[in-house]
């Protein structure tokens, strides 16, 4: 079982804005992934779902799907990055396997997957 500790989350608006401004973005139909290298730090992640997706129930479901997809993938990712994972409109009707595959595809494009099974 893999957990997401408080130290592994982006929580302050200032941290989110730094990743949005200085990070590189990768996108597909379901997800946008922002990546900002942070040398000498552990990996931190934030999740976002905008108001255009729907009401609070829909946005919370999207964020739950994103968190679970990340939880399943986190042991394959390199350390030293700040990530923001943003859900798009097409994610509203997706299932967990589709979301997990979309996130894995973006992490591969961003070259943040580790070459071996464990985190680097």
For tokens 């989350």, name the residue. Answer: 9
Task: Tell me the pLDDT tens digit for each residue of 29-61.
Answer: 999 999 999 988 889 999 999 999 999 999 999
pLDDT given for residue 119 in this prediction: 42
Domain formed by 23-109, architecture: 2-Layer Sandwich (3.30)
CA 31 to centroid of chain Cα atoms: 8
Residue 55 DSSP class: S
pLDDT band with cut points at 50, 70 and 90 for residue 116: low
Residues 91 and 47: their CA atoms lie apart, in Å, by 13
Q: Which among 120, 118, 101 has a CA at the least distance from the CA of 2?
A: 118
Residues 98 and 91: their CA atoms lie apart, in Å, by 9
SS3 for 57?
A: helix
pLDDT band with cut points at 50, 70 and 90 for residue 3: confident
pLDDT given for residue 6 in this prediction: 86
């Amino acid at each position: 079982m893999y957990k997401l500790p408080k130290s592994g989350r982006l929580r302050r608006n200032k941290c989110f804005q730094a990743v949005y401004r200085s990070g590189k973005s990768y996108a597909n139909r379901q997800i946008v992934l922002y990546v900002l290298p942070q040398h000498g730090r552990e990996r931190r992640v934030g999740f976002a779902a905008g108001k255009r997706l729907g009401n609070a129930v829909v946005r919370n479901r999207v964020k739950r799907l994103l968190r679970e997809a990340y939880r399943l993938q986190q042991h394959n990712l390199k350390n030293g990055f700040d990530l923001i994972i943003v859900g798009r409109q097409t994610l509203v009707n997706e299932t967990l396997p589709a979301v997990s595959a979309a996130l894995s595809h973006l992490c591969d494009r961003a070259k943040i997957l580790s070459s071996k099974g464990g985190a680097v």
